[in-house]
Structure formats: structure tokens, C-alpha cells
Structure 1
Amino acid sequence: MKSNLGISWQRKWRDSCRVFLSYVKKVLSFPLILLIKCYQWCISPFTPSSCRFTPTCSKYALEALKKHGPLKGLYLSVRRLLRCHPWGGSGYDPVP
């Protein structure tokens, strides 16, 4: 017979690991989010709006970082920036 004590200990360990990893994701995403916010506040108001997609590339990057964390969020953001050129697509392109 298995004890329920082991299961609850494993569940607590798994839950604490998830909390820790989510904290690490937020901490690692913060500098990237800060860079994007600085761009939006300091540079973007002085340049003409030229993004071909909705949401804009900077908003897309913020959403990707918040939703997927620093690694996948950065990957999705760079991939989006590489598609944002005159011969690329346009229109509505949400974060997956």
C-alpha cells in the first residue's frame, strides 16, 4: 500500500518548482520588457508609424515575453521583426 504522504510531498515539490520557475521567467523577462518600454516611450513617438502588422512589433514583443517567457518570447519577437519588411506580410498577427 502506498502512503498518501509521498504523493502530497511530491505535489508540494512540483508546485514549488512551478512557482520558482515562473518567478525566474519574470525576472529574466524584466530587462527585455524594460528595453521595449524604453523604445515605446522614448523613440517610437518621434518616428513615423511603419509597422505592417497589428499589433505593432513592439506590442507583439511585449505580449510574447509576458505570455511565453524570455526564451520563446525573444524567439517569437525576432521572428516577427524579420517578417516586418516591405516584401513581407501584413495584417493581424497575434501572439501564438
Structure 2
Amino acid sequence: MINKLLDLLMLPFILIIKIWQKFIAPGLAPRCKYYPSCSQYTYESIKSFHIFGLALGVWRVIRCNPLSHGGVDYPPKTLKIGPFLLSNKETESMVS
């Protein structure tokens, strides 16, 4: 129930990312220094960690600047927040 609510709350951000990826980004020269792109990283993070994934995506965009080296940077498989350890849906299905 809570996951469904969180998915619903994240829907506007997912839609913005998908609009960016489908209509805006193809018209621009490739600029992202990271793989996967910042928008794909944010999308995957939101799908895995909801609001915390949004924070990961914002942090990724902040890191994507002329002073960074870039490179391969996938979203984390687990995320530790205080005493809590969150794992993404892919990791959970591998454990089951």
C-alpha cells in the first residue's frame, strides 16, 4: 500500500524525466559525462528508492559539472539511511 502511494507521488517526476528523454534530449548534443545519463540514473533511482532516489538523482545532476571526471556510475543497489537499509527491487527479487 505504501509503495503504491510512493509510486503515485513520484509519478510527476517520472513523467518529467520521460518527456525530457523522449522529446528534449534527442535534440541536444550528448553532454552527460556519466553513464548512464543523469536522467536515466534519476529514473532508475526513483523507481528503486522513491523520494530517496529523487535525492540521489539531484545529487548526480549536481556532480555532473565541468570539474567532474565523469565515468560509469550506476545507481546503488542498497541505500543506508540512518539505521535503515533500503534495497532496490532488483536486489529484493534476487534474494527471494
2:45 matches 1:94: no
User: Which structure carries more strand by proportion?
Assistant: 2
Letter in 1 for 2:47: K
Q: TM-score under structure 2 normalisation?
A: 0.76
Q: 2:6 aligns with which of 6, 25, 29?
A: 25
Alignment of 1:33-48 (within 5 A): 33-48=14-29
1:20-39 deviation line (CA, Å, top 9, x unaligned): 11111110111110000001
Which is higher, the Rg of structure 1 or of structure 2? Answer: 1
Alignment of 1:1-96 (within 5 A): 20-69=1-50, 71-96=51-76
Q: TM-score under structure 1 normalisation?
A: 0.76
Aligned length: 76
How far did residue 42 of structure 1 move? 1.1
Q: Percent identity over the alignment?
A: 36
Unaligned runs of 5+ in 2: 77-96
Letter in 2 for 1:48: A
The answer to whether the Cα contact below 8 Å between 1:83 and 1:89 also exists between their aligned partners in 2 is no
Return structure 1 stretches of 4+ with deviation > 6 angstroms.
none
Residue 66 of structure 1: SS of its match in structure 2?
A: helix
What is the Cα-based RMSD across aligned positions, in Å? Answer: 0.7
Residue 67 of structure 1: SS of its match in structure 2?
A: helix
